[in-house]
Structure 1
Amino acid sequence: MSEEFGQEYWDTRYGSRDGVWSGLANPVLMTETLALPAGRALDIGCGEGADAIWLASRGWQVTGVDFSGVALARAAERARQAGDDPVSAHDPATGGTIAGRLTWEQHDLTEWAPPAASFDLVTAQFMHLPSSARTGLFARLADAVAPGGTLLIVGHDVSDVHTTVHRMPDPDLFFTARELAAALDTRRWQIEIAETRPRVAQDPVGTAVTVADAVLKATRR
């Protein structure tokens, strides 16, 4: 597992091309955080930084964390281009000031624990690991949410394995929102959303396919 999903794997993947992802923030992240008051955010598996940069443009103080030093260097450069420097202080896409609001950290996410009760928003977008590693990671992310803060986890629903879109063939890498919600103690958490959310994607031959995202949004009491 460490070889396939650790730093070497992700450094190789990110180093194989100039951009692995679209460069745009994830739509569910934007939709579900738009009304939240800005505070301290932790973006887990931040990759090339699109989500963290968007959050910073909305006033959040963001820590982006990833396995890959290659991805983090690219994220820092994209943030600089978007305005994270003293000279150019605005994201041209949103007009929001991001200078000084972004911190990038490299950690082994299968072992690292963020500081407890420290973030007003903890987000993990499409962080797929084997269940043996994922369960512990998501528990540590929940512990990092401050009272009154939000936990937002979005991933490919396990049902996607049976579509024609490109997904890893191992169902153990995927999850459902119901599974995530069941792991939270309802005495400590208010479950706001735990749903399978459909959307349209294209498979490798260009056919439109309905896929599903597992979306969990919860507020720490």
Structure 2
Amino acid sequence: MTDEQLQDVPPEKFWEDFYRAKDAVWSGNANPILVREVTGLASGTALDLGCGEGADAIWLARGGWRVTAVDVSSTALDRAAGHAAAAGVADRIDWQRHDLGLSFPTGTFDLVSAQFLHSPVKIPRDRILRSAASAVAPGGTLLVAGHAGAPSWADDNTPDVRFPTTEEVLAALDLPAGRWQVERQETLERSLMSPDGRPGTGIDNLLRVRRLTGPGA
């Protein structure tokens, strides 16, 4: 299937096929950026967008958070719920299926996390992130992490995909002036392994913003 044809595949079908292809896709460990940025925050309510097999949501629940975890794939959510039960935190996580381009969880949250919310199929990512910002309670945090480029082992046959910068993400959020504070905006390098076991590095973008309290917040 060409990249152009892939753009027309519905997100639910793509991600269902993606998760059904393997018994386990991800490592089961929480995203390091989430761990770094959330450690030390007072626990409250959290929204995990694109939760996959549930590692981030489970880590948050173990830390005392009440989590609403969302994915478009029922297979991923079933898998995640099983992992949460095994970890003893099933009662702290509400698993919800949403195609975020069509529906979004209700309510506001002390933390809204969008970790690597990229998709080979077309999704309205900017609109989803604006909905994510709207779901942050006064005093709460929006945490957006994403790839900044291809991994170091990528070769000339790797599709040339451009990822948004933190400046572009911030501009797309269109946050009201005076109501938000940018707490962190940076590019990070991390070590990771290629699919065939070669060591390498990846570059990620991080944007952390906090909704201010007070009138109009």
Same fold (TM over 0.5): yes
Distance, in Å, in 1 between the alignment partners of 2:10 and 2:208 is: 25
Deviation at 1:16, TM superposition (A): 1.1
- Structure 2 vs 1, CA of residues 131 and 68 (structure 1 numbering), >3 Å: closer, same or farther? closer
Residue of structure 2 in register with 1:67 after alignment: 72
Deviations 1:9-46 (A, max 9, x none): 11111111110000111111011001111111000000
Residue of structure 2 in register with 1:12 after alignment: 17
- Counterpart check, 1:143 vs 2:161: no
Please tell me the residue identity of whatever aligns with 1:18: D
- Structure 2 vs 1, CA of residues 122 and 7 (structure 1 numbering), >3 Å: closer, same or farther? same
Residue of structure 2 in register with 1:127 after alignment: 117
Residue of structure 1 in register with 2:215 after alignment: none
Please tell me the residue identity of whatever aligns with 2:171: A
Root-mean-square deviation (Å): 2.2
Deviations 1:190-216 (A, max 9, x none): 011111111122234433322111111
- Structure 2 vs 1, CA of residues 81 and 22 (structure 1 numbering), >3 Å: closer, same or farther? same
- Structure 2 vs 1, CA of residues 15 and 99 (structure 1 numbering), >3 Å: closer, same or farther? closer
Please tell me the residue identity of whatever aligns with 1:178: E
Residue of structure 2 in register with 1:107 after alignment: 98
Distance, in Å, in 2 between the alignment partners of 1:149 and 1:101 is: 19
Q: Is the 8 A contact 2:7 2:122 kept in 1?
A: no
Distance, in Å, in 1 between the alignment partners of 2:10 and 2:41 is: 32
Candidates 175, 185, 190, aligned match of 1:199? 190
Please tell me the residue identity of whatever aligns with 2:132: L
Per mean C-alpha deviation after superposition, the further-off stretch among 144-153 and 178-187 is 178-187
- Structure 2 vs 1, CA of residues 31 and 25 (structure 1 numbering), >3 Å: closer, same or farther? same
**TM-score for both structures, normalised by structure 1:** 0.84
After superposition, residues 1-221 of structure 1 pair within 5 angstroms as 3-4=8-9, 6-83=11-88, 98-115=89-106, 118-129=108-119, 133-157=124-148, 159-160=149-150, 163-165=152-154, 169-172=159-162, 174-183=163-172, 184-185=174-175, 186-221=177-212
Deviations 1:84-131 (A, max 9, x none): xxxxxxxxxxxxxx3521110001111223335x10000011110478
What SS does structure 2 have at the residue aligned with 1:100?
A: helix
What SS does structure 1 have at the residue aligned with 2:91?
A: coil
Deviation at 1:2, TM superposition (A): 6.5
Aligned residues: 203
Determine what percentage of the aligned residue pairs are the same residue: 45
Q: Is the 8 A contact 2:193 2:200 kept in 1?
A: yes
Distance, in Å, in 2 between the alignment partners of 1:177 and 1:7 is: 27
Deviation at 1:178, TM superposition (A): 2.0
What SS does structure 1 have at the residue aligned with 2:101?
A: coil
Q: Is the 8 A contact 1:181 1:194 kept in 2?
A: no
What SS does structure 1 have at the residue aligned with 2:16?
A: helix
